[in-house]
Amino acid sequence: MAESTAQATAQTTAPWASRKSTAMLVLADGTVIEGHGLGATGAASAEVCFNTALTGYEEILTDPSYAGQIVTFTFPHIGNVGTNAEDIEDLNPAARAGAVGAIFKADITNPSNFRAATHFDEWLKRRGVIAMSGIDTRALTALIREKGVPNAVIAHAPDGVFDVAALKKQAAEWPGLVGLDLAKEVTSGQSSVWTETPWVWNEGYGEQAVPTMHVVAIDYGVKRNILRLLAGLGAKVTVVPAKTSADDILAMKPDGVFLSNGPGDPAATGEYAVPVIRELIKAEIPVFGICLGHQMLALALGGRTVKMHQGHHGANHPVKDHTTGKVEIVSMNHGFAVDGESLPDGVEETHVSLFDGSNCGLRLVGKPVFSVQHHPEASPGPQDSHYLFRRFANLVRERQGEPALAER
């Protein structure tokens, strides 16, 4: 760690000097950062990233795309609106798919929101998420920006007793996310039908009763609000496990196929997913991918993916849609990206990040196939990109001979 960063991080221990440190973040390079333990106890190995969203910590921590990661929140006050049963994003909360750890600047305060049902600290315990506060999250974020996402171990021991040497060894030996297929760890165990529609103020979630299309969603770690938006546009959504074969999917006679978000290295998951995606493309069925689904679609079309220096995690990322010329503010959560220059002829780049120019979308020219890197469902974040779900629905409706929906 750079000396200035180490000093800035060390300063955060001052507020906790009057009480014993009960948590540690131990980086693979041997750096030890102490703080106050929250949530579950124990130790977990993972990659440390930072998220710049101001709201939506419950959705963030339950997003299966964060499996194998510790989330550092740059917003200082996390947890003060409590938690509830409506904002969970993973399909099976019992599986605890999502982040293994969380880092905050300030202690969690008592909840002050009319939707709060459970104190955030208690929720972290129930979810098995190890957390810590009292950290200079600005310094840690600067470290990540400078050196890239580090492998680490986050540990919480209420008695403040740690085997530091063992934690350093554990952090140094964790192999990281490259080459790691995590989709198989978070995917659904069996097929199911999703009918819940988006949340409406003073009404809650609705129910899709009269579907006009059938969408098969391949679950690599799908978020609930993606499924809700599909159902809200008239789709009966059949969710299938990540390793479902193309023959089994086609036997369901879908009007469209959705490739979901998810964690881990797309090249690793792609070993079994890419051949399936190629068969679905050959079947001339509309295909829409998000995040990991976008990356694996790119692989299926002949592109390649790369590990990013720090990744994109937040709800304030500007992306330009070349098909409309408009700039939208979007939610992102990815540590791998499609190499735009690797896309072959016949595959068009449709979206690009205005932060770093990285690829954020593609379409297969002449085919009803497209995908985006960002999360158009948001949750949390702005709804600028909700039109992409209508774009997908219109590809299905065109195939059905039905009139198009307005995208905006």
Confidence of residue 7 (pLDDT cuts 50, 70, 90): very low
Global model pTM greater than 0.75 = yes
pLDDT in tens, 387-396: 999 999 999 9
Average pLDDT score over residue span 319-346 = 97
Residue 16 has pLDDT above 50, yes or no: no
- Which tokens is 97 given? 């798919």
What DSSP letter does each residue of 27-60 carry, written as one string? ETTS-EEEEEEEES-EEEEEEEEEE--SS-HHHH
Given the residues 312, 313, 375, 386, select the one marked as catalytic: 375
State the pLDDT at residue 19: 66
Average pLDDT score over residue span 24-38 = 98
Known catalytic residue at 375: yes
For 75, 207, 236, the CA distances from 197, given in Å and listed in that order, are 30, 5, 11
Known catalytic residue at 291: yes
Rg (CA), the chain: 21
State the pLDDT at residue 14: 41
- The length of the chain is 408
Task: Determine the Cα–Cα distance for residues 184 and 241; give it in Å rounded to an integer.
Answer: 8
**For all residues of the chain together, what is the average pLDDT?**
94
Phi first, then psi: give them for residue 373, nearest 5 degrees. Answer: -80, -35
What DSSP letter does each residue of 76-140 carry, written as one string? S--STT-B-SSS--SS-GGGT-S-SEEE-SSPPPPP--TT--B-HHHHHHHHT-EEEES--HHHH
Task: Determine the Cα–Cα distance for residues 57 and 101; give it in Å rounded to an integer.
Answer: 12
- Which tokens is 90 given? 């993973």
Total H helices, total E strands in the chain: 11, 19
Burial 138-164 (b: 16+ CB within 10 A, else e): bbbbbbbeeeebbbbbbbbbeeeebee
Residue 343 has pLDDT above 70, yes or no: yes
Task: Determine the Cα–Cα distance for residues 82 and 100; give it in Å rounded to an integer.
Answer: 19
Alpha helices (H) in 215-291, listed in sequence order: 224-232, 246-251, 266-282
Given the residues 34, 313, 377, 386, select the one marked as catalytic: 377
pLDDT in tens, 35-76: 999 999 999 999 999 999 999 999 999 999 999 999 999 999
For 97, 103, 107, 326, 380, the CA distances from 59, given in Å and listed in that order, are 12, 15, 19, 27, 7
Question: Residues near 66 by Cβ (< 8 Å), separated by ≥ 6?
Answer: 60, 98, 99, 263, 333
Domains detected in the chain: 3-173 (3.50.30.20), 183-400 (3.40.50.880)
Would you call the peptide bond into 380 cis, given omega within 30 degrees of 0 as the criterion? Answer: yes
Known catalytic residue at 377: yes
Given the residues 34, 291, 351, 386, select the one marked as catalytic: 291
Average pLDDT score over residue span 149-171 = 98
Confidence of residue 15 (pLDDT cuts 50, 70, 90): very low
Q: How far is CA 303 from the centre of its chain?
A: 22
